[in-house]
Amino acid sequence: MAFPDTVAETFAVARRAMVEDQIGKRGIVSPRVLEAMLSVPRHEFVPAEFRPDAYADKPLPIGEGQTISQPFMVGAMTQALELTGSERVLEIGTGSGYQAAVLSLLAREVISVESHTSLTLAAQERLTDLGYANVHVHSGDGSLGFADAAPYDAILVAAAAPEIPPLLAGQLREGGRLVIPVGSQENQELLQTRKEGGVLRSRALFDCRFVPLLGRYGWSRPDRKPTRNQ
C-alpha cells in the first residue's frame, strides 16, 4: 500500500474514510451529497489546533462558543433538502462556512446569515479564498430569515430553535423544503418540512443536539427561555 506523501493527501484519505464510514454507512445515500462532502476540505474550516480531528465523527469548536456540526449531521441535513442544482438556498447559522460550502456545490446560490460578526467575516473570506463564489454571507439575526433575497427553494437552519421561526415559512417558495432542529436547548428533533398549499408539513427525522438559535424567534440567551415567551 502506498503511503500518502503530502498533508493534502493525508486529509483526502481521512475525508474518504469520513464519507464512507460516518455518512454512507449511516443512510446518507444521495450520490451528489456524498460527492460534495468528498470534495469540500473540512480541515480548512476548523481552527488550526483542531485540524487533526477535522474528519472525526464529532462537532468541533470554531470560536465564539460555537461549533462546526458533526459530518453526519451536515450530510443528513443536506440530503433532506433534496437539492437538484437549480435552487437558491438560505442557511441560518454560517459558523465556519463548511455547511454553506457543501450546499454551494449542490445548488445555484447560497445565502447564509450569521449573528456573530467575527464568524461572518471569517467565513466569507474563507469561502472566497477557497473559490466558493456562489455563497454570500450576511451578518444579522437569521431567526428573521433574510427577506432581501426571498423567496428560497430551500432553507437550512443550523442552530436549535424553540419553534419554526414564522417568517421563514413566508420566505420559502411553494414546494420548498426547510430543515431545522426544533425542541429545547438540551435536545431537539431534526424536522424536514415542505411547503404544500401554503402551509408547512413536517416530519421528524431523528433526535439531535445543536447550539441554540438566538434572536427574535430563537432564545434570548443560551440557557434562557424562548424570546417570544418572555
Residues with catalytic roles:
69
Q: Tell me: does residue 115 bind ligand SAH (CB under 6 A).
A: yes
Residues 161-196 as b/e (b if ≥16 CB within 10 A, e otherwise) read: bbebbebbbebbeeebbbbbbbbebeebebbbbbbe
Task: Give the count of residues interacting with ligand SAH (CB under 6 A).
Answer: 26
Q: Give the angle 118-108-144 at the CA atoms, nearest 5°.
A: 50
User: For residues 113 and 146, is the Cβ–Cβ distance under 8 A?
Assistant: yes
Q: Tell me: does residue 98 bind ligand SAH (CB under 6 A).
A: yes
Which residue of 19, 90, 158, 191 would you call a contact of ligand SAH, by CB under 6 A?
A: 158
Nearer to ligand SAH by Cβ, of 99 and 188: the residue is: 99
Q: Specify the stretch interacting with ligand SAH by CB under 6 A; choose among 12-20, 26-34, 140-148, 167-175.
A: 140-148
Q: Specify the stretch interacting with ligand SAH by CB under 6 A; choose among 19-27, 87-95, 169-177, 183-191.
A: 87-95
Which residue of 113, 155, 190, 208 would you call a contact of ligand SAH, by CB under 6 A?
A: 113
End-to-end CA distance of the chain: 61
Q: Tell me: does residue 114 bind ligand SAH (CB under 6 A).
A: yes
- Nearest by Cα to 11 from 45, 60, 61: 45
Q: Tell me: does residue 190 bind ligand SAH (CB under 6 A).
A: no
Q: Tell me: does residue 46 bind ligand SAH (CB under 6 A).
A: no
Instruction: Tell the residue number behind the cell numbers 429545547, with chain if given.
Output: 184
Q: Tell me: does residue 215 bind ligand SAH (CB under 6 A).
A: yes
Q: Tell me: does residue 159 bind ligand SAH (CB under 6 A).
A: yes
Nearer to ligand SAH by Cβ, of 39 and 201: the residue is: 39
C-alpha cell at position 132: 466558493
Q: For residue 78, which amino acid is it? A: T
Q: Report residue 146 CA to chain centroid gap.
A: 16
Q: Tell me: does residue 142 bind ligand SAH (CB under 6 A).
A: yes
Q: Tell me: does residue 75 bind ligand SAH (CB under 6 A).
A: no
What gap in Å lies between CA 191 and CA 6, rounded to an integer?
Answer: 40
